[in-house]
Amino acid sequence: MMERRRIMKCLLILPFLSVVEAFISIQGSPTLLTSKLQASPLQDVFSGITGIVGSLEPPSDVLIGTSIDPTRDDVKLEMCYKASKDGWSAIDFHNCVDGKGSAVVVILTKSGRRCGGFNPIGWNSSDDYANSNNAFLWFDKNGKGVRLPILVGGNTAIYDIASAGPTFGAADLCLGPPRAAVMGGFTGPSVENTSSVAGSLKKGKSSVGGCYDFVKGWPVVGEFSCAEVEVYCNANAGKRGGGLFGF
């Protein structure tokens, strides 16, 4: 049954690929298909179906004006976390991103949609909320980044919880929610063994409107599954005046 479903999904892209290439994808040898799909609108859809994902990278315009704007001379954008390489656990996520300063999260959903969020504060596993007027969610629309701005006041923009992945607001966007209940929205240091309750970034949930302004086209509602998650930060953070954090 599983093999039949995989074949049917591949048949959907046969107008764009040869029969031989589709057969190769079914057999689990993605090299030829990956090269054919580079820079193609089909790449995201195909990646969501098969789990074959290259580097995602955020749309070039989504970071303009932020502290990690790649057009700035003092910014060298680099990938500091890739779930399929570094691990899907919230522990793996924090091991890679904590202390790296401002960062952007790039999600590829199983349905082939790209979205994420910008955290201008960075992560430190503080198990607490942080406020910022500069945080935002974003999604890809025809190759361009669309922002969902933080609501006035910037309250609870980021929930920096050690047992979960990137969490924007209380429920606007959360990857890898912890497996243990969070009482009162704050876990505190009483959770001694974080690994036992750490969530998996393969799973996410979203309910935009609590802390971030809803924009039509936002691609995820309720629970969803991730094909890949990447985080990009500034490799030069801490080397320039102003330290790790920016605006």
pLDDT at 186: 46
Q: pLDDT tens digits for 216-238?
A: 999 999 999 999 999 999 999 86
Place of tokens 């960062």: 103
Q: Is the pLDDT of residue 247 over 60?
A: no
Same domain, 8 and 112: no
Same-domain status, 208 and 97: yes
* Residue 63 lies inside a defined structural domain of this protein: no
Q: Is residue 243, in this structure, part of any structural domain at all?
A: no
245 in a structural domain: no
Backbone angles phi, psi at 32, to 5 degrees: -65, -45
pLDDT in tens, 61-108: 999 999 999 999 999 999 999 999 999 999 999 999 999 999 999 999
**Residue 118 belongs to a domain:** yes
pLDDT recorded at residue 102:
97
User: Domain total for the chain?
Assistant: 2
What percent of the chain has a predicted confidence (pLDDT) above 90?
63
The parent domain of residue 191 ranges over 77-234
Going by pLDDT thresholds of 50, 70 and 90, the confidence category of residue 165 is very high
Do 187 and 94 lie in a common domain? Answer: yes
Q: Does some domain include residue 20?
A: yes
Q: What gap in Å lies between CA 241 and CA 92, rounded to an integer?
A: 29
Give DSSP secondary structure letters for 3-20. Answer: HHHHHHHHHTTTTTS-HH
* Mean pLDDT within 156-168: 96
Based on the fold, state whether residues 27 and 135 are members of the same structural domain.
no
Tell me: do 140 and 218 sit in the same domain: yes
Residues 140 and 196 occupy one common structural domain: yes
For residues 176-188, one letter each, b for 16 or more C-beta atoms within 10 angstroms of the residue's C-beta and e for the rest, the string is: bbbeeebeeeebe
pLDDT bucket at 57, cuts 50 / 70 / 90: confident
Average pLDDT estimate for 190-210:
85
One domain, residues 91 and 208: yes
Q: Are residues 11 and 106 in the same domain?
A: no
Residues 38 and 98 in one domain: no
**The pLDDT of residue 45 is above 50:** no
Residues 88 and 190 in one domain: yes
Identify the pLDDT of residue 20: 33
> Is 64 part of a structural domain of the chain?
no
